[in-house]
Amino acid sequence: MSTGADSQPRPWDASDRAPLVRIEDVSRAFDGVLAVVDVSLDVHEGEFFTLVGASGSGKTTLLRVLAGFERADRGRVLIGGADMAGVPPYARPVNMMFQSYALFPHMTVEDNVAFGLKQENLPRAEIRARVTEMLDLVRLAAFARRTPDQLSGGQRQRVALARSLAKHPKLLLLDEPLAALDRKLREETQFELVNIQERVGITFIMVTHDQDEAMTMSSRIAVMDHGRILQVGPPATIYEAPATRFVAEFIGAANVVEGRVLRREGDALVIRSEPCGADLVARHADDVPRDAAVAVAIRPEKIAVVPATNAGLNRLTGTVSEIGYLGGVSIYHVRLATGLTVRVQITNQARLSAPPLTWGEKVTLAWPPEAAVVLTR
């Protein structure tokens, strides 16, 4: 996500600023089953913050607690420093954009955008000015007199966004906002939505199960599983330094292998990995006891195919068992003598070139110690 001028501090790094949203030890259960478990989280003004997780992880329940559609069994939610306990959804400085967009089919685009403003009995001139402002913002001024059935999916999504922003909420909640769009339109709309958020300066909190969507759009991400937040951080941190095995495997692709710590050598650990049939070396600053069970995660794009005579650390030999050509990259599954399959990703740099590897080919894989992440949980 774009962060604007380099001289501006990122909002979550400004420790002297109170967060716009503070969630303190919130839990919510349904029929005795916890959907959200002791979640604490700060979201700062101007962030595009994303809750990401698989179905049933608790992300949508947490969003609904923020909106006031669900009550917390324990803990509290503060928005702008005010405790939201007992505050109904319509009285919160929050708007929510639903996955279905929930547009009124019998109303025109401009009437859909104006609906919430009319409910607040704002003056006609102000309503007209805000509707014009919002339609200009989402580039739909020319479609003001159309009804939703006369629009494409992407246009309907932008109408729903304009209606959500028209009331100038402090906080906009987005529940899977791009799920109804096809892949190409979804990718185009991701950048458009980020640009709009940066222009209006309103804090966005989005829920999605799409890891790529979260990585593309967010200033920070919270990864959830079974109602708990496992890690919070900027996309690059979540991807390059996952805190747990679940995060490593859920965000992007990763080869995760088991091992036991043999010893420390300088700033790295030497790890005996039976599945790999080799000792692996991984840079890791924290102390880990000798013989401790750990996992080592290596992203497929960090692995190189090298000549068999090329000596060095982290060398594995195997046979290409599967090939997937994806245009910009090719994915290879390399089966080791131990039976472990390692996923490797290679960029296709030359146009119309054949895949550099073929089925059944014997190859040597390698990666530097700093490319591996040691996971202790």
Q: Which CATH class is domain 11-248?
A: alpha beta
pTM tops 0.85, yes or no: yes
pLDDT band at 46 (very low <50, low <70, confident <90, very high): very high
Kindly state the average pLDDT of the residues 127-149: 91
Residue 7 pLDDT > 60: no
Q: What is the pLDDT of residue 346?
A: 93
Q: What is the DSSP letter of 180?
A: T
Q: Compare 340 and 154 and report the one with higher pLDDT.
A: 340
Residue 9 pLDDT > 70: no
Q: What is the pLDDT of residue 11?
A: 61
Question: Tokens 């629009």 map to which residue?
Answer: 151
H or E element: which one contains 191? helix 183-200
Identity of residue 367: W
Burial code of 20-55, b = ≥16 C-beta within 10 A, e = fewer? Answer: bbbbbebbbeeeeebbbbebebbbbbbbbbbbbbee
Residue % of the chain over a pLDDT of 90? 68
Q: What is the pLDDT of residue 189?
A: 81
CATH 1.10.10.10 fits 253-375, yes or no: no
Residue 354 pLDDT > 50: yes
Handedness of CA 92, 95, 98, 103 (dihedral sign): positive
Residue 2 pLDDT > 60: no
Q: Compare 158 and 77 and report the one with higher pLDDT.
A: 77
Mean pLDDT of the chain: 90
Whether 11-248 and 253-375 share one fold: the answer is no
**Domain locations along the chain:** 11-248, 253-375
Residue 343 pLDDT > 50: yes
Assigned token pair, 6: 């380099």
Helix, strand, coil shares of the chain, percent, nearest 5, are 25, 35, 40
Between the CA of residue 173 and those of 41, 59, 113, 204, 207, what are the distances in Å? 15, 12, 17, 6, 8
Note whether 244 and 294 are within 8 A (CB): no
Residue 262 pLDDT > 60: yes
Kindly state the average pLDDT of the residues 121-139: 91
Q: What is the pLDDT of residue 6?
A: 44
Identity of residue 79: I
Query: What is 220-244 written as a DSSP string?
Result: EEEEEETTEEEEEE-HHHHHHS-SS
Q: What is the pLDDT of residue 191?
A: 86
Q: What is the pLDDT of residue 187?
A: 83
pLDDT digits (tens, 9 = 90+) for 73-107: 999 999 999 999 999 998 999 998 877 778 899 99
Kindly state the average pLDDT of the residues 175-196: 82
Name residues whose C-beta falls within 8 Å of residue 234's C-beta, 6 or more positions apart in sequence.
218, 219, 220, 221
Q: 4: burial class by Cβ within 10 Å (0-12, 13-18, 19+)?
A: exposed
Query: What is 98-135 written as a DSSP string?
Result: -TT----TTS-HHHHHHHHHHHTT--HHHHHHHHHHHH
Q: What is the pLDDT of residue 97?
A: 85
Residue 180 pLDDT > 80: no
Residue 4 pLDDT > 70: no
Kindly state the average pLDDT of the residues 18-44: 95
Between the CA of residue 60 and those of 40, 204, 224, 240, 326, what are the distances in Å? 15, 14, 11, 26, 32
pLDDT band at 15 (very low <50, low <70, confident <90, very high): low
